[in-house]
Amino acid sequence: MSCTKVPLDVLYLDNHLLVVQKPAGLLAQADRTGDPDLLSVAKDFLKEKFKKPGNVYLGLVHRLDRPVSGIMVLARTSKAASRLSEQFRSNTVRKKYVAIVEGVCAGRGVCKNYLIKNDQRVCIAEAGHPNARYAELSWQSIAQKNNLSLLDITLKTGRPHQIRVQIAHMGYPLLGDMRYNAQREFDGKNLALHCRLLGLEHPVKREYMEWKAAPPVTWTGYFDNEIKKGFTRTA
C-alpha cells in the first residue's frame, strides 16, 4: 500500500515544524509489518507540497501507539528535532488526552508509579527495580454512562504505554485495550485514547504554541455532548 494514499490531517506547518493529527491504526514509524506509517506519509506530503526531489528530512521526536489517535509534532530540521527532543525528555511539553475507560470512575487523582517493559507488555514495578522508570499523570472523570467513564488525562512523563498501564492499574482499563485487561472492544482494533492537546515552545521562535484536536468519528455515540463542549471542567 502506498503511503501517498493515506491522507494527512495537517494542523500546522512552517519551516521548522509539521504538526498533524495521527489517525488510530496508523504506525508512527515504519516497522517490520511494512504497513503505512505517519513519518513516511508526512515525508511524501512534504515532497509533493514543495516539489522536492529525493528525500526530505523529517525528525520523529515522540510517538503515539498505533491504536491511539491524536496530535503529533514532527521536526523539519535537525536543529528543531534536537530542541524538541529535549523538551520531551525534560517533560516540559504540555500533553492532554481524553480516554474512555471501562467501569464507573469518578473524581480525580494522580497516578505515580514505576514502569518496566516485559516482552510486549509494560508492568508496574517496584521503585527500586534497576530498569524501572518513573511515570506520573493526573486524571479527572468528566462523565459516566453505560458502565463507561470519560476521563481527561494530563501526562507529566512520557513512557511507553503509560496511560494504558496506569489507568488499568487503577481498575479501569481503556475501552478496546485487550492487552491490558479490557473486556469490551472499541472499534474492532483501536483504543479509546486520543491526544487532544499538545503545547510546547517553538524550537526557533522560542514562543509557546498549542494545538487542539477533537477525537475521531469512531468516538461518536459514546460521550458526544461532553466531547462537543470540550469539557467545561478543568483538570
Could you report the per-residue pLDDT of 29-73, keeping only the tens digit for each? 999 999 999 999 999 999 999 998 888 999 999 999 999 999 999
Neighbours of 96 (CB within 10 A): 21
Judge whether residue 233 has pLDDT over 50. Answer: no
pLDDT single digits (tens) 120-145: 899 999 998 999 999 999 999 999 99
Judge whether residue 4 has pLDDT over 50. Answer: no
Judge whether residue 1 has pLDDT over 50. Answer: no
Hey, what's the cell of 183? 473486556
CA angle 81, 138, 134 (to 5 degrees): 60
Architecture of the CATH domain 3-228: 2-Layer Sandwich (3.30)
With 0-12 CB in 10 A as exposed, 13-18 as middle and 19+ as buried, what is 181? middle
What is the reported pTM?
A: 0.93
Strand pairing class (108-118; 94-102): unpaired
Helix (H, G, I), strand (E, B) or coil at 165: helix
Tell me what the pLDDT averaged over the chain comes to.
94
**166 backbone dihedrals φ, ψ, rounded to 5°:** -70, -40
Domains of the chain: which residue ranges?
3-228
Beta-bridge mates of residue 116: 123
DSSP one-letter code for 218: G
User: Any idea of the CA torsion for 25, 28, 30, 31, to the nearest 10 degrees?
Assistant: -70
Give CA–CA dist 200/74, Å, rounded. Answer: 12
